[in-house]
Structure 1
């Protein structure tokens, strides 16, 4: 089984690339879905979050109020680190279980979608790293225009992650999500052909697509 990671800063187009790779036949393990599962009502992680940030981060039905929690962490690095220390171990356990299931099924290519891959130091746990990138002004426009965020909130979300330039140096492959939209499926198809042709066990050479 080839175990890859896919990452990209917010609004880079990572979810679109993930969907395209799934269509090509990759098994996808989505960190966002795992993060939601990790904080379902009744979990230790959710109870710890409420203890740390207070009951205001819960909705009336007892589920996590993500926008409320976001207000606590995006402008406060200490609070963000505290949240990550709660959630990431729970997500890692769920990811390990999904990887074990994929290995047992005999899945050939398993891609873990991890937005904060480099921030939490997980890049060396995989056979290769795919980075989806886009220029910061374009990502800012996507957050404000497509997602309806204020410019200040969008910029705070961008600033909470490592700059793309730093991540590019650690990626095995880079997909630049710029230019006409029809270019992205072509670049993903080229990447898939590369993945199919090379085992990439411990490779470190960077290639932009």
Structure 2
């Protein structure tokens, strides 16, 4: 019997840090961000649909998706972000479902469903337990500006495009507080694995 952990957070909250730690223990990660890139690779129906909607201006010189250019468009306009999600969302969900079925069939004890928009996209329905990686807003803003080399205004715009972390915190079964040290965050992950008898 597989336990599916729905892992989420906000942009620059540290979700990837937790996901990497779980991967180091050998647990498989169904990563929505990786899948989101796969479904819009050159030659896919996803990229053709995006190009049709947003124009070929979103492509790089070699025909790939210019993610920075697309980001500038959709994070400045909620309507266009919704159109992007309407195209990519079903494609991502299909691949996620395929991977979950295969991993459950293989008898994996823990499967990590790593989805930034876990609650927004109702992916919690696929999970047995949900975990949010939480940081306060000031820390989140500082980390995003430093990581993506964004102005405060651009970083706030991206944070505002997602549900507030406090709302996700209230919905999650498990909260990992990432306001403190890396060691403290890692210990919370170990505590979760121990609770479910999954420590390796």
Q: Which moved more, 1:17-26 or 1:34-43?
A: 17-26
**Residue in 2 aligned with 1:39?**
40
Paired residue secondary structure (2:171): coil
1:146 Cα deviation (Å)?
3.0
Question: Which 4+ runs in 1 deviate beyond 4 A?
Answer: none
Paired residue secondary structure (1:175): strand
| Distance in 2 between residues matched to 1:84 and 1:195, nearest whole Å | 34
**Residue in 1 aligned with 2:79?**
78
| Distance in 1 between residues matched to 2:197 and 2:84, nearest whole Å | 37
1:143 Cα deviation (Å)?
1.2
| Distance in 1 between residues matched to 2:40 and 2:197, nearest whole Å | 35
| Distance in 1 between residues matched to 2:8 and 2:113, nearest whole Å | 8
Q: TM-score, normalised by structure 1?
A: 0.90
| Distance in 2 between residues matched to 1:86 and 1:105, nearest whole Å | 30
**Alpha carbons 1:24, 1:192 under 8 Å: kept:** no
Whether 1:103 aligns to 2:104 is yes
Paired residue secondary structure (1:196): coil
**Alpha carbons 1:133, 1:176 under 8 Å: kept:** yes
Following superposition of structure 1 onto structure 2, how do residues 1-209 of structure 1 map, counting pairs within 5 Å?
1-196=2-197
**Residue in 2 aligned with 1:204?**
none
| Distance in 2 between residues matched to 1:77 and 1:44, nearest whole Å | 23
| Distance in 1 between residues matched to 2:52 and 2:102, nearest whole Å | 33
RMSD of Structure 2 on Structure 1 (CA): 1.2
**Alpha carbons 1:21, 1:192 under 8 Å: kept:** no
Task: Flag structure 1 segments of 5+ consecutive residues without an equivalent.
Answer: 198-209
Task: Flag structure 2 segments of 5+ consecutive residues without an equivalent.
Answer: none
Number of aligned residue pairs: 197
Taking a change above 3 Å as real, the CA distance of residues 100 and 124 of structure 1, as seen in their structure-2 partners, is closer
| Distance in 2 between residues matched to 1:196 and 1:61, nearest whole Å | 48
Q: Deviations over 1:70-106 (max 9, x none)?
A: 0111121110110001111111111111112212221
